[in-house]
Structure 1
Amino acid sequence: MNRLKPLNDFVFKKVFGEEETKYNLIALLNAILSKKDTDKLVTLEIVENKELTPELIEDKTGIIDVRAKTADGTQLEIEVQLTNQHNMDKRTLWYWGEIYSEGIKKGEDYRNLTKVITINIVDFEYINIPNKFHTTFHLWEDEVKDYMLTDVVEIHFIEMEKFRKLTNKNLKEDKLQRWLSFFREDISKEELKELMDMDVDIKKAEEKMEYLSSDPKTLELYKARERSLHERANMISSAREEGATEKALRVAEKMLKRGDSIEDIVDITELSVDTVMDLKKKMMH
């Protein structure tokens, strides 16, 4: 039986975002947030546990995230994103703001607003800091680097592609690295067994994955979500290609007006000779 993909957002929510499996989420969050023994999360409340209906599963624009709240009111949101839409910085700020503003009702004291932590697990490289697969952002003053305006903003990016490229992994001592290894689709049975022997929390998460893979209804929804994610990735790719073609056509039109040769236009824009010739004919009419 093939192992389910842990970063399929439907599977991720089933393993980490449900009341009966929140111990998995607590373990993962403690690894991501680098909690020390004295302030480790020991309990939390799952927020907005939406029913994973076939309609939501097959929605190509739908986001299946994991939301939780700690005892002190801190809100947490984890989103898994497999396709680079080149907007994760703005996107995560939008969701952070949306969750933050839900903290109080109109007319209430702003002091009642609580910290919001958003965590993005992305299957591509995004943050332009080489060799750093986990980055964390707060509101620091530009020049006085150790002055934080407020701690209510905390945004994490975890880039799987950078982690895969990491040559000197330290699985024995780094719990987050163990979790990211667990998330790999290409992990071997031997590596997975080693991880499970090393970390009881990962063993529990993998046991949940095995249970899900044996349930026919879950498998049906998982396959539907895989199709939806695949179609979404194709839509994004097609839109980018279409955008690139439109840009190339605009450049070709400018070059034709300037009197550049067909050969030079083809070389610069990478359009076909026929496409450039057709554009020239349209411009002549």
Structure 2
Amino acid sequence: MERFKPLNDFVFKKLFGENEVKDNLIAFLNSVLDKKDRERLVSVEILDNKDLTREMIDDKEGILDVRAKTKDGTQIDIEVQLTDEHNMEKRTLFYWSRLYSKELKKGQNYNKLNKVITINILDFKYLEIDKFHSKFHLWEDEIKDYMLTDLVEIHFIEIPKFRELPNKNLKEDKLQRWLTFFNQDISEEELKELIAMDADIKRAEKRLEYLSSDPKMREIYEAREKALHDRISRMENAMEKGIKKGKKIGEEKAKIDIAKKLILMDMDTEQILNATGLSKEDIDKLYKETH
């Protein structure tokens, strides 16, 4: 039986975004937030718990992220992003601001606004720094240890950077264990070692096995995988066409620049035709523009 990809957004939500698997979410969040023992999360409230329907499979906006709220009112949003759309910093700020502001009702004091944490799990390299887990707050430019507020907290977890890490520390680093669990190509031996090492991951893997064995879940999973694959193909085709178009425009501009120089050197039309490959109409037009 093929093991589901844990980072498929549908599967990820089933592993962490439902009330029956709340313990998985708490364990994962504690590994990301790296709280001290007395500050560790012990309970969360799952928000926006909606099932993925067949109609929503092809609609990226229909796939809800995993969202939760802690006892002190802090909101947490986890987004899994598999392809680089070159807008993650803008996207995460948009999601953060939307969650931050929607809690305030008309006429309420700004003191009612609570902290929002966004966690972005990326299956591609994005930030131009080496570390695989980056955390951002609002700091003063010159006084680096002065934070304006702790209400903003944004995480980026870049999976490829973790995979390239030469010396992993799975025994002591729980986040590294979760990122290893997310690997679709993990060997059976590695998985057994991981499960023996971490009871939380053992529980999550059992859930994954259950999902993988359910025919209905497999149908939705495969449909979602196809939709994601088709979306990636469309993006790659659009990018390829854009590159070709840009190259063509560049080549045409270079030909025109050469033709203008040859016209100023008083070369005849036939010579310019042979040198640039432009049409006679284009060269006649350039003659008029140049003179």
TM-score normalized with structure 2 length: 0.88
Question: Does structure 1 retain, via aligned residues, the 8 Å contact 2:52–2:63?
Answer: no
- Per the alignment, residue 248 of structure 1 pairs with 247
Alpha-carbon contact 1:5-1:11 (below 8 Å) kept: yes
Give 1:24 shift: 0.2
Task: Within 5 Å, give how 1:1-285 maps onto structure 2.
Answer: 1-60=1-60, 62-130=62-130, 132-259=131-258, 280-281=278-279, 283=282
- Tell me, in whole angstroms, the C-alpha distance in 2 between the residues paired with 1:23 and 1:185: 22
Aligned letter for 2:76?
L
Residue 268 (structure 1) aligns with: none
4+ residue stretches of structure 1 with deviation over 3 A? 60-64, 280-285
Pair 1:127–1:200, CA change in 2 (3 A): same
Q: CA deviation at 1:50?
A: 1.5
Distance 1:243 1:12 in 2: 33
CA shift in 2, pair 1:180/1:283, >3 Å: farther
Task: Quote the RMSD (CA, aligned, Å).
Answer: 1.5
Gaps of 5+ in 2: 260-275, 286-291
How many pairs does the alignment contain?
Answer: 267
CA deviation map 1:8-37 (0-9, x unaligned): 000000000001101100000000000111
C-alpha distance in 1 between matches for 2:61 and 2:132: 26
Distance in 2, matches of 1:213 and 1:61, equals 25
Tell me, what secondary structure is at the counterpart of 1:151? strand
Larger-gyration structure (1/2): 2
Deviation for aligned residue 1:246: 2.3
2:175 & 2:228 partners in 1: Cα distance? 26
Q: Distance in 1 between matches of 2:85 and 2:217?
A: 28
Mapped to 2, the partners of 1:209 and 1:52 lie a distance apart of 17
Give the SS at the match of 1:118: strand
Offset of residue 125 of structure 1 = 0.5
- Is contact 1:73–1:115 with CA below 8 Å preserved after alignment? yes
Query: Cα distance, 1:243 vs. partner?
Result: 1.9
Distance 1:37 1:23 in 2: 16
Question: Which whole-Å CA distance do the structure 1 matches of 2:39 and 2:282 have between them?
Answer: 69
Q: Which moved more, 1:79-88 or 1:238-247?
A: 238-247
Q: 1:37 to 1:86 in 2, by over 3 A?
A: same
Question: Counterparts of 1:168 and 1:238 in 2: how far apart (Å)?
Answer: 37
Percent of aligned pairs with the same amino acid: 61
Q: TM-score, normalised by structure 1?
A: 0.90
- Amino acid of the structure 2 residue aligned with 1:36: K
Could you list the runs of 5+ residues in structure 1 that have no partner in the other structure? 261-275
